[in-house]
Chains A and B, each alone.
Chain A
Amino acid sequence: MQLYNFAYLDEHTKRMIRRAILKAVAIPGHQIPFASREMPLPYGWGTGGIQVTAAILGPDDVLKVIDQGADDTTNAVSIRRFFARTSSIRTTTRTPEASVIQTRHRIPETALRAGQIIVYQVPIPEPLYRLTPSRADAARMHALADYGAMHVRLYEDIARHGRVALAYDYPVMVNGRYLMSPSPIPAYDNPKLHMNPALQLFGAGREKRLYALPPYTEVRPLDFEDHPFDPHRADAACALCGAADTYLDELIADDTGRRRFICSDTDSCDSRREETGA
C-alpha cells in the first residue's frame, strides 16, 4: 500500500505551487507569494526548496541534493532519502546525471546544461529587508524599480573597508528590472547565475515566496564602475584534488591550528580525483 502521494505533497498543492512557479518564470526575479505548507521538517531546513522540488519531480527525474556543496551532509542526505522514499525516483550525487538539483548555499562547480533544473533553498527572499523591514515599502520599491538606496550600502562598505564587504547573498539585478537575493550562495557563485542554460527556481518556505530565473537570463551583481564586482576566493588550491579554480572550505586540520583548504563541492572534487588518479 502506498502511504504517501508521489513526492509527499498532494496533487492540489503541487498544482498551486506549479502555478506560482509559472508566474515566477514569467517575471524573472519577481517574488511570487504561494501557500507554503507544513512539511515534516522545520522551517529553515529547506521547506521552500523541498516544496518546489516536490512540485516539479516526475517519475523519470534523477535528483541530486547538496548542502554547502556537499552531497553527504545531514541535510542533503535526509532530503535525498525523503524523496527516494516518497517517490521511488532515482537519486545521484553526480551533477551531470541529475535532472533536478536541490541546493543550499552553493551552485555546483560543474557547469549546468539546458534541461536541468536547480532549486535553491532560500531563508530570506527579500533583498530590501535590510533597508526596510516593511513589506509594503519593499513592494513599492520593487514596483517603482527604486533601488538607489541599495547602492548607499555598497558605498558605505567601500568607504569603510575599501571593498564591498558582502561575502554571500550578494544582491543581483535580474534582466535589468528586479533586484533579487540569490539566496546565501557565496558571491563567488554569482557569475554562474548569469546566462545559465538551466532553469533556476528559488523557494522560501517560511516567507512563502517563490522566484525564478528562466534559462539564459541576464543577472548582474550590484557594483560601481570603478569598484567592479570582485568576489573573494581563498588564495589556495584544494588539498585533495589540487583544483585552483573552485570555491574552497577552510578546515582546521589538527590541534596545532594548521589549516587546509578543500573543495566545497564534493562531487566536483571526487570527479577530478578520479580523472587525475590522485
Chain B
Amino acid sequence: MTLMAAERVTRRFGAVAALEDVSLAIGRREIVAIVGESGSGKSTLLNVMSGRLAPDAGRVMYDSGAGLAPIAAGGEAALLDLQRRRWGFVAQEPRLALRMNVSAGGNIGERLMVAGARNYGAIRAAAARWLETVEIDPARIDELPRGFSGGMLQRLQIAATLVTEPELVFMDEPTGGLDVSVQARILDLVRGLVRRLGVAVLLVTHDIGVARLLADRIVVMRQGRIVETGLADQVLDDPQHEYTQLLVASVLPA
C-alpha cells in the first residue's frame, strides 16, 4: 500500500534542473534508498518529498489515513503537523539538527513536548528509555551533547527522531562523516529499530554498501532523473542501466 508518492516532480535551481519529471512511491514499512553521485538530485528529491522544498511542477502525496492527499493542500500548519507528528528527519550533521545547549534528555523530549506531552516524569522516562535503546548510558541524560562523540551525537539524533514513533523517516546520508566501525554500528541500530517500529524510510546515500544493508528497494538517480529502480538485490546484483553498472562496479572490494 502506498504511503507516499511523488508525482512527476520537477525542480530547477536557475538553469540547473535538479529534478526532472521524477515519480517515486514508498509503501508502508518500506525502506527505499536513493543512490547517485553528487549533484544527481537525490537530496533535492528528499527535500521536496519531506516538504522542505516546494516543487516547480508536480506534487507530493501522503496517506495520513484517509487516502493519498497532496502534502501542500492543508497549508503550512498541516505540513508542519505532518513533519512533527508523522515524519522524522535524520540529517547528516547532528550538530545542526540537535540543540547543542540543551541536555540529551531535553533533545529527545522536544518532539514529545512539541506533540503535546506535558508530563515531565513521562517525558524523562521516555528519554532514558531511548538513550538505552540507542546504546547511550542513560546516566548521561542531563549532559549537554557537546561532550558526545560524532557517533553518539548521530545516535542521539536518531533517538530524538524516533521517540514519537513516526510513520516515515527521511535520512540524508545518516552515516556520512563517521568512521567505518561507527557506521556499521549505527546502520545495525537503524536496521533493527525501523524493523521493530515498522517505520518507512526514505534514505539518501552515495554509499552502495549502506543501501545494500538497509534498503528493500533502490532508486538510482543521475542528472535529476531516475535511471533505474528495483528491489535492492536485483539492482545491485543485476544492474540494467549502464550508470548503475558503473556505480556497482566502482565499489571497492571488501
Residues of A within 8 A of B (CB): 140, 144, 146, 148-149, 151-152, 155-156, 158-160, 223-227
Contacts and interface: CB of A to CB of B under 8 A. Distances in A.
B105 interface: yes
A155 B114 contact: no
Question: Shortest 3 CB-CB distances between A and B: which pairs?
Answer: A148-B114, A224-B120, A151-B113
8 contacts: A148-B84, A148-B116, A152-B110, A155-B106, A155-B109, A226-B119, A226-B120, A227-B120
A197 B138 CA distance: 49
Contacts of A224: 118-120, 123
B119 A144 contact: no
Contact of A225 (B106, B113, B118): B118
Main secondary structure of the interface of A (DSSP, over half): helix
Contacts of A148: 84, 110, 113-116
Given A144-B80, A146-B80, A151 B142 contact: no
Contact of A152 (B77, B106, B121, B142): B106
A152 B109 contact: yes
Interface in B109-155: 109-110, 113-116, 118-121, 123-124, 141-142
Contacts of A227: 120
Contacts, number: 53
Contacts of B103: 156, 159-160
Contacts of A225: 118-120
Interface of B: 76-77, 80, 84, 99, 102-103, 105-106, 109-110, 113-116, 118-121, 123-124, 141-142
Most chain B beta carbons < 10 A, residue from A140, A155, A158, A160: A155
B113 A152 contact: yes
B123 to A, nearest CB: 7
A159 B142 CA distance: 7
Contact of B106 (A156, A223, A226): A156
Given A146-B80, A155-B123, A224-B118, 13 more contacts: A140-B76, A144-B76, A144-B77, A149-B114, A151-B118, A152-B99, A152-B102, A152-B113, A155-B113, A155-B120, A159-B105, A159-B142, A224-B119
A153 to B, nearest CB: 8
A224 B124 CA distance: 12
